[in-house]
Amino acid sequence: MAEQLLSTAVHDTVPVCYVRPESQRPRLAEVVAGARIPVVDLACPDRAAVVSAIGDACRSHGFFQVLNHGIDAGLIGEVMAVTREFFRLPPEEKAKLYSDDPARKMRLSTSFNVRKETVHNWRDYLRLHCHPLDQFVPDWPSNPPDFKETMSTYCKEVRALGFRLYEAISESLGLEAGYIGETLGEQEQHMAVNFYPPCPAPELTYGLPAHMDPNALTILLMDQEVAGLQVLNGGKWVAVNPQPGALVVNLGDQLQALSNGEYRSVWHRAVVNSDRERLSVASFLCPCNGVQLGPAKKLVTEETPAVYRNYTYDEYYKKFWSRNLDQEHCLELFRT
Ligand code: OGA
Ligand code: NI
């Protein structure tokens, strides 16, 4: 029901259906605040250094930030502005787009998977399919009026960036530059436009609880002013502080499998705060349904036997959405 959207109501207290049991709360005081996840300058002329920095980051953190990524700062500003405007639309306008069916290719929804979960999350989100654009854009919101154009331009740029990163990631694994792009094939692209309203009791709930992304690669455009993303590293939750002009990149489960477990898809979560709303735009590149996945042949040797079996993305994705977000890592179910 559209009444469940957080962005259409004002809450003075956190309703009980959002309150986590004591043992599952974020314990914000224990989060490492001052650390920096690796930053890679893509304009650095030393290609080998860029490739090796990306490889190190994929191994140690599963996350890195990219600077000089080629996406215009003006466009990024417009994406944030049109997103903010969208979530400010009147309730009746948003109600028309509401759905809690994960199979819908365009939906405005809330929390994560309201039909399955027992405790909800302090997030509304607009989920869009983005490739091929001309197939999906007609169904996207037509309000705000420049939503379709701004978001489609951004989608094209993010896709190109994703493919550039695939080349560097392939090379860093000792594979041909084209390996990941070719193996994953013509990829789908999805977007989650996340809106985290201010929350009266951030200690009791999450914007998104700890999860790993089921896709191949995620490129996250974060609010430049309000932090909230946290990444698990060395057993501690580390806050990812917004870095002006940077985009945050993380590996999804499919690249962990392709790398035969050398690179990591890591636990991350979004927390909320009591005084400011926060926005993020997550772009996901993912293989098409029928594509065969699993470790790259070249990475399977006598010393490093296959850690995961082969499977199709369809099989993986169905498994992912049939579970709760914070259960054990979905990829564990595909171990050899
Ligand atoms: C996601 C995600 C983090 C954020 O959408 O998968 O991890 O900061 N988002 O919104
Ligand atoms: Ni995520």
DSSP 281-297: EEEEEE--TT-EESS-G
Residue 228 contacts residue 237 (beta carbons within 8 Å) = no
DSSP H/E element including 238: strand 236-239
Write down the mean pLDDT value for the chain.
94
User: What are the sequence ranges of the domains in the chain?
Assistant: 38-334
Nearest atom (ligand 1) to Cα of 222: 8
Contacts of 133 (CB under 8 A, 6+ apart): 152, 155, 156
Nearest residue (CA) to ligand 1, atom 8: 229
Report how far Cα 292 is from the mean position of its chain's Cα atoms: 22
Nearest to 248 by CA among 71, 27, 46, 51: 71
For residue 134, report the distance from its CA to the centre of ligand 1, in Å: 26
pTM of structure: 0.96
Torsion of CA 58, 269, 158, 318, to 10 degrees: 90
Q: What is the pLDDT of residue 288?
A: 86
Q: How many CA atoms lie within 13 A of 170 on its CB side?
A: 18
Q: For residue 138, what are the CA distances in angstroms to 129, 225, 283?
A: 11, 32, 19
- If you ran DSSP here, which 8-state letter would residue 20 be given? P
Res 325: pLDDT: 63
Q: Return the pLDDT at 1.
A: 66
- State in Å: Cα 235 to ligand 1 middle: 19
Give dist(CA 96, CA 78) in Å, integer. 24
Sign, Cα dihedral of 175, 332, 317, 197: negative
Tell me, in angstroms, the distance from the centre of ligand 2 to residue 269's CA: 7
Pocket lined around ligand 1, Cβ cut-off 6 Å: 192, 194, 208, 213, 220, 228-229, 268, 270, 280, 282
For residue 301, the CA-to-ligand 2 centroid distance in Å is: 31
DSSP string, 151-200: HHHHHHHHHHHHHHHHHHHHHHTTS-TTHHHHHH-S-EEEEEEEEE---S
> Which H or E element spans position 75?
helix 73-87
Distance CA 323, CA 320 (A): 6
pLDDT score for 8: 83
Provide the token pair at 50: 């860029």
pLDDT the model gives residue 27: 97
**Under CATH, which number does the domain 38-334 receive?**
2.60.120.330
Give the span between the Cα atoms of 263 and 252, in whole angstroms: 10
CA pair distance 321, 165, nearest whole angstrom: 27
Which residue CA neighbors atom 2 of ligand 1 most closely? 282
Pairing type for strands 278-286 and 236-239 reads unpaired
Which tens digit of pLDDT belongs to each residue from 8-37? Answer: 888 899 999 999 999 999 999 999 998 889
Q: How far, in Å, from the CA of 218 to the mean position of ligand 1?
A: 9
Residue in 215, 292, 283, 302 with CA at minimum distance from that of residue 66:
283
Q: Which residue of 79, 112, 208 sits with most ligand 1 atoms within 8 Å of its CB, as the best mutation to test the pocket?
A: 208
| Positions of the chain with pLDDT lower than 70, given as ranges | 1, 324-326
Atom of ligand 1 nearest to the CA of 228: 8
Cβ contacts of 67 within 8 Å, gap of 6 or more:
39, 40, 41, 42, 43, 243, 245, 246
Cα 149 to Cα 163, 169, 258: the distances in Å are 22, 30, 34
Q: What pLDDT shows up at residue 103?
A: 84
Residue 176 has a pLDDT of 97
Nearest CA to ligand 1 atom 1: 282
Compute how many other C-beta atoms are within 10 angstroms of the C-beta atom of residue 174. Answer: 12
